[in-house]
Amino acid sequence: MGGSKSKTLKYSTEIPGSETEEFSSIFQSTDNFIEFFYPNLYTMIKSLCDEFPSKPFLGFRKKSSEGYYWISCSSALEQIHQSSALLSSLNLESDSNGMTVVGILSKNSPQWVVFDIACSKLGITTFGLYQDNSVDWLEKTINKAALRYICCSSEYLTTLLALKQSGRITTVELILCLQRPDHEALHVLAQLGNVRIVYYREKCEKLSDYVESNMEKIYTLALTSGVTGDQRICMISNNNLLMSIFGANIPGLNLAMKDVYISYVPLSLLWERVIMYKVILAGASIGFSDRNNEILQENIQLLKPTLVLGVPQLIEEIYDKIQASVAELSATKKSFFQKAYASKLKTYKKNKKLTSSILDKLIFKSIREKVGGKIRFMITGSAMYRPGVVEFLRIVLSCEIIEGYGSTETAITCLCSMPGDNTSGHVGGPLAGYMVKLRKLNGVSIEGHEGKVVGELYLKGEKLFKGYYKRPEQCLDQDGWLATGDILAYNPSNASFSYIDIQNCIITLSNNKTISLQKLETLYKTSPFVRQILIKHKNDKLIALIVPNETYIKSTLAPGSVKFSEICESPLVISTVLNDLNRIAKNMDLKYYEKINKIMLEPVAWETDDVLSPTLKLRRPVIESRYSEIIEILSSEPKF
């Protein structure tokens, strides 16, 4: 990859005369043209498979000791037709909204994608269910959507049958199981008479007819992340999907048939599906992986992807591992690394060039090979990374890191940075099909964005979702704008936008100063004692709920066999961790009102689905509710 053709990127165009007292000017993409010829997902995929029948399409691993096996485009298309024939034979009925909805409960796999496309062929609406979530969550979601039909892999069949047997789910009438069930599931099934089980058959005698599907027909139901509150079910039409796929034409991305994408983020997350189908449209191959960190790292080595969707946790883990390996180098080798990094960074800042034939071969090749050795692009959502993380990974991995912003309601990314931009800290500008504006936060000054227009992001465009399922309340204002609840800043230097925080996490203190909780969490997470952190403001105090780094604490403060839960209650350990947070506050030149006043150490990591979103972000309302009593106690104590 060479330098950018343009010296200065401009991310958006201002609509003259659109600014009001309440809102900023309206901004739109510098290129608003979107063109496509397909009415739905199935016709798009069929066109690709017909043109490149022998192309490796969907990859998977049969056993942990073996490499990837590939399904060709022609074989995948045959499976899509067989699946749609089976679905057609089941005579599934529509609901009161005129939609036939089928839930999908399975890990990422070729079967997930095949089934999704087969449903598109028949005009059936899919609803991805997060496979790692708890039984309680599954019960709540199935009942919220009143699902009658579910397609699942065999490992989840027993769970579904147990919920049905106990009366916790009542609407489910039919379960399509992708594999033969185990004996336990068969035992439960024998006791049930009010649910029908159909086993997936490879062959069907008669292929189903293609069902004409208009652009406004609902392609899928998709859940919001639940990071700021209760999860809602969004309705995404064929037009929403295809506008998102074809409208995400990012200059410089240059996807090609030689590219390989690793799919590990749950396909139930709309973001993952849209990016995957965008990559497929370019003719690239898709390899599936479990999102367990060890398995994912192993699969990255085997698959050698060129394109990776980088959720914040993965980005941070890659950064930490590289830094740890550098720290273990001898003094001489570490000096070589630092000089090579500084030299390459200087070149990148000057001419935007990410590759150096000599330095990459001598210094950075071994690091790059730890993540497969071929990554060209990493795409990441609006997240606040520790200072220097994005820039560091760009240099040592020689890959573009594209930062974007989006939500389920926007049918994925609506703002995005571009390859060839050697700046960071912003999410670019609106993609084709969107207009954006900011509802001004007058009188509020955000550090680092002084003098800029800052406010809640509003969006408008054809890509916006069709509303919330079974919730007819108004989602948009009278002019068609969606209020996102996220605070962004407009950067006039390149007409881009910077993500600041969730609106509820922008806190105005009693002294009229403003703080961003997510920003502080990002900075304090640089402490070696901290694994996870959530900061709560209450009674004019900052309370930090912390999951400590068990390995580091045991090695530095409490060697031996003492239980970690007891270590976390030790006044000495609590004091040491708080002192280290104060050290960070001093080194980062934080204001006195940005310093942590009280902390609680939680020995059990926040890893369960009820506290983590599918992209592994903390669900603040859940955690704050769980620790409400300790927050109340700590906020009532004196600061010092």
The ranges assigned to domains in the chain are: 13-34+292-504, 41-213, 509-636
CA atoms of 163 and 317, how far apart (whole Å): 36
Region 520-545 average pLDDT: 93
In contact, 509 and 539? CB cutoff 8 Å? no
Tokens of 381: 């959502």
In SS3 terms, 187-243 reads as HHHHCCCCCEEEECCCCCCCCCCCCCCCCCCEEEEEECCCCCCCCCEEEEEHHHHHH
Which DSSP string do the residues of 375-420 spell out, in sequence order? --EEEE-S--PPTTHHHHHHHHHT-EEEEEEEEGGGTEEEEE--TT
Place of tokens 């704050």: 624
CATH topology of 41-213 equal to that of 509-636? no
Question: How far is the C-alpha of 8 from the C-alpha of 35, rounded, in Å?
Answer: 27
> Per mean pLDDT, which range of 131-140, 499-508, 625-634 is the poorest?
131-140
Residues 54-60 have a mean pLDDT of: 96
Which 8-state DSSP code applies to residue 92? P
Site of tokens 């922008």: 506
* C-alpha closest to that of 436 among 387, 471, 482: 482
Q: Which residues pair with 149 in a beta bridge?
A: 102, 174
> Has residue 295 got a pLDDT over 50?
yes
d(CA 619, CA 624): 9
Percent of the chain with pLDDT over 70: 93
More confident residue, 463 or 121: 121
If pLDDT is split at 50, 70 and 90, which confidence band does 2 have? very low
Mean pLDDT across the stretch 455-467?
Answer: 91
Per-residue pLDDT for 5 more than 90?
no
- The answer to which of 177-186, 383-392, 613-622 has the lowest mean pLDDT is 177-186
Angle at 447 between CA 441 and CA 450, to 5 degrees: 65
Cα gap 250→373, rounded to integer Å: 23
pLDDT of residue 187: 59
pLDDT at residue 113 greater than cutoff 70: yes
CB under 8 Å to 39, separation ≥6 — which residues?
212, 213, 214, 215, 238
What one-character DSSP code corresponds to residue 363? I
Q: What is the pLDDT of residues 346-375, one digit of tens each?
A: 999 888 888 888 898 889 999 999 899 999
Domain 13-34+292-504 CATH superfamily: ANL, N-terminal domain (3.40.50.12780)
And the tokens for 539?
């009674």
Q: What SS3 class is residue 116?
A: helix
What's the rounded Cα separation, in Å, for the pair 415 and 405? 5
- The answer to whether the CB of 243 falls within 8 A of the CB of 41 is no
In this prediction, what percent of the chain has a pLDDT beyond 90? 57
In DSSP notation, 48-62 reads HHHH-TTSEEEEEES
The hierarchical CATH code for the domain 41-213 is 3.40.50.12780
User: Rounded distance, CA 510 to CA 522, Å?
Assistant: 23
Residue 516 parent element (H or E): strand 514-516
Scored b (16 or more CB within 10 A) or e, 541-571 reads bbbbbbbbbeeebbeeebeeeeeeeebbeee
C-alpha to C-alpha distances, 390 to 24, 135, 360, nearest whole angstrom? 29, 37, 18
Say if residue 100's pLDDT is above 60.
Answer: yes
Per-residue model confidence as pLDDT tens digits over 341-354: 999 999 998 888 88
CA–CA gap between residue 6 and residue 569 (Å, rounded)? 56
Q: Taking the alpha carbons of 354, 357, 362, 367 in that order, is the dihedral positive or negative?
A: positive
* Long-range contacts, 617-623 (Cβ 8 Å, 24+): 617/225, 617/227, 617/312, 617/383, 618/227, 618/532, 618/534, 619/226, 619/227, 620/227, 620/228, 620/502, 620/504, 620/505, 620/534, 621/228, 621/229, 623/534, 623/545
pLDDT given at position 4:
39
What token pair was written down for 619?
């669900």
- Which long-range contacts does 372-375 make (Cβ < 8 Å, 24+ apart)? 372/300, 372/301, 372/303, 372/304, 372/305, 373/304, 374/260, 374/304, 374/305, 374/306, 375/305, 375/306, 375/307, 375/308, 375/399
* pLDDT exceeds cutoff 50 at 590: yes
Residue 68 has pLDDT above 70, yes or no: yes
Strand partners, 14: 27
Q: State the architecture of 509-636 in CATH terms.
A: 2-Layer Sandwich (3.30)
Nearest to 467 by CA among 130, 100, 221: 221
Q: What is the pLDDT of residues 258-285, one digit of tens each?
A: 999 999 999 999 999 999 999 999 999 9
> Measured at the alpha carbon of residue 585, what is the angle toward residues 580 and 588, in degrees to the nearest 5?
120
Q: Mean pLDDT score of the chain, rounded to an integer?
A: 88
User: Residue written as tokens 């995005």?
Assistant: 416
Q: Is 118 helix (H, G, I), strand (E, B) or coil?
A: helix
User: Which range among 413-427, 462-476, 508-522 shows the weakest confidence by mean pLDDT?
Assistant: 462-476
Contact between 385 and 316 (Cβ < 8 Å): yes
Ordered DSSP codes for 473-502: S--S-TTSPEEEEEEEEEETTTTEEEEEEE
Name residue, tokens 């700046």.
423
Does pLDDT of 423 surpass 90?
Answer: no
CA distance 360 to 252: 22
Strand pairing class (496-502; 482-491):
antiparallel
Helix (H) / strand (E) element for 150: namely strand 149-152
> What's the mean pLDDT in 279-296?
91
CA distance linking residue 495 with residue 187, whole number of Å: 62
Rounded Cα gap, residues 146 and 131, in angstroms: 18
